[in-house]
Structure 1
Amino acid sequence: MMGSGGYWGPIAARLEGRIDLTAIDLPGHGRSDPWTPGPEDPDYHTAVTRIAAAFIQRPLDLIGHSMGATVALRIAVAAPEAVRSLTLIEPVLFAAAPGSAQADLDTRMARHLAEGRPDEAARIFLDVWGHQPYDALPPPFQQQMRDQIPLVAASDEVLNRDGANILRAGGLEVIDAPVLLISGEESPPVIHDIAAALAARLPDVGRATVPGAAHMLPLTHPEAVAGLIAVNLDRA
């Protein structure tokens, strides 16, 4: 979310051809078309999940970061037979750890968007979840953040209230592929709470914390993240 498939490049290089890596640009991101849903179209998270699932022709290794990790988890719950291994880097499924500070942040972002201040909404979001603060970005990237921040709000129902029913009874428990949950040591506390809640229900799960890393660890710590992905590939 608010990035592109291109930031997987350093990790792909460090995996040295072990797997064929397909990294998609979400709608409204990178080289994908803008997100312009019609009245009969699904919500944003569902649309992204369907796009990602369309690439699956046989059991494979699903690797996701942030919202992408929630998409990977949603696919694994719906079709566990399609997953050979599952690597979830900082899944932002806030519904797994209710009562966090994220609810207040989302409320503030929604208010700014409703009042026509996407720059303020983007500034709040990037202060917590970004690699660089909004005001440090060049103007073209600030515009990109303003254009994309409504897509963050569009995922609220799934991420905060589990509108996709990912956490349904017996759902996580059917995933028999090896799962690895990767967190940054310096990420917001809710990330560690989410990882703990998911790990408690997954049958074959490991957890790893990358020292000195925050939420954008695929960009800031690609060596460590690639090494951990390789560990989970070995387990599969």
Structure 2
Amino acid sequence: MSGVHLRHWPGDPDRPALALHCMLGSGSSWGPIAEALGGQVDLRAFDLPGHGRSGDWQPGADGPDYHTAVTRIAGSFIERPLDLIGHSFGATVALRIAVAAPEAVRSLTLIEPVLFAAAPDAAQDALDARMQAALADGHAEEAAQGFLSVWGDQDWAALPAPIQMQMTRQIRLVADTGPALRDDSARILRDGGLEQVDAPVLLIAGAESPRVIHAISDALAARLPDVGRATVPGAGHMLPLTHPKQLAGLIAVNLERS
């Protein structure tokens, strides 16, 4: 890829933090949350490959898969223990880092982690199958609409045409995350892995989110040594966009625990 776009919201230089956004989003989603945190952390976020202002994702024949590539990019920004925050796909990357290098994480906030391998779900399997079938038939827009009908916060018809086109291009990246999210190719759930995360962890979910999100949180919470749970009333999967102030308040609680 041609480059990674890094975003920065200055704050306490002694509390570096890194935030990882969801698929089909961008690092800009953390702006209102950073504002609400009021400088408690020195927050950085990058646009995932193929998202926002970052370059396109161009996998090599012998290169890493998308999840691994994003994990390596995130790791390149960690110079000392920091507060790690992730949403959806970004939360699975954050958890992967915490399992692989627990000493690098001061606190871990996981917002709706979509690690489906932790709690296999028939409805999610059916959605994945429909998306893959639509892509195989050359119907990328149909695949994007189906995905957003479950994991988005707006009706497709209400989205501006340029956003529809962008998400239609990006939906293949979502489909390619299957091995990491559904099959746990990164072995995040390996025996003893979650148990060695000694940083305070907060699992946050929207009350109106798909059932599988709550099942995943149950499965992860059962194994993490120091974990809290929070549910945001009236929120769905995209609560960083729809409920930034409430989310920032919960993140601040976890920051105080570390």
TM-score range, shorter chain: over 0.9
Question: Aligned partners of 2:117 and 2:155: how far apart in 1?
Answer: 26
2:184 match? 162
Please, which moves more after superposition, 128-137 or 192-201? Answer: 128-137
Describe how 1:143-154 pairs up with structure 2 within 5 A: 143-154=165-176
Which secondary structure state, in structure 2, belongs to the residue aligned with residue 177 of structure 1? coil
1:49 match? 71
Which secondary structure state, in structure 1, belongs to the residue aligned with residue 46 of structure 2? coil
1:207 to 205, 213, 229: 229
Q: Which structure is richer in relative contact order (CA contacts within 8 A, separation 6 or more)?
A: 1
Query: Within the alignment, does 1:35 sit opposite 2:57 as a pair?
Result: yes
1:102 match? 124
Identify, as 1 or 2, the structure richer in strand.
2
- When the two structures are aligned, how many residues end up with a matched partner? 236
Q: Deviations over 1:23-79 (max 9, x none)?
A: 110000000000111101110111001000110000000000000000000000000
1:176 match? 198
Question: Aligned partners of 1:87 and 1:100: how far apart in 2?
Answer: 27
Identity %: 71
Question: Aligned partners of 1:80 and 1:163: how far apart in 2?
Answer: 19
Q: Deviations over 1:105-146 (max 9, x none)?
A: 001000101110000000000000011122221110110010
RMSD (Å), alpha carbons: 0.6
What is the TM-score normalised by the length of structure 2? 0.91
Query: Within the alignment, does 1:84 sit opposite 2:96 as a pair?
Result: no
Q: In the alignment, is the contact (CA less than 8 A) between 2:239 and 2:247 conserved in 1?
A: yes
Q: In the alignment, is the contact (CA less than 8 A) between 1:123 and 1:135 conserved in 2?
A: no
Post-superposition, which runs of at least 4 consecutive aligned residues in structure 1 deviate over 4 A?
none
1:197 match? 219
Q: In the alignment, is the contact (CA less than 8 A) between 1:64 and 1:71 conserved in 2?
A: yes
Identify, as 1 or 2, the structure richer in helix.
1
Runs of 5+ consecutive residues of structure 1 not aligned to the other structure: none
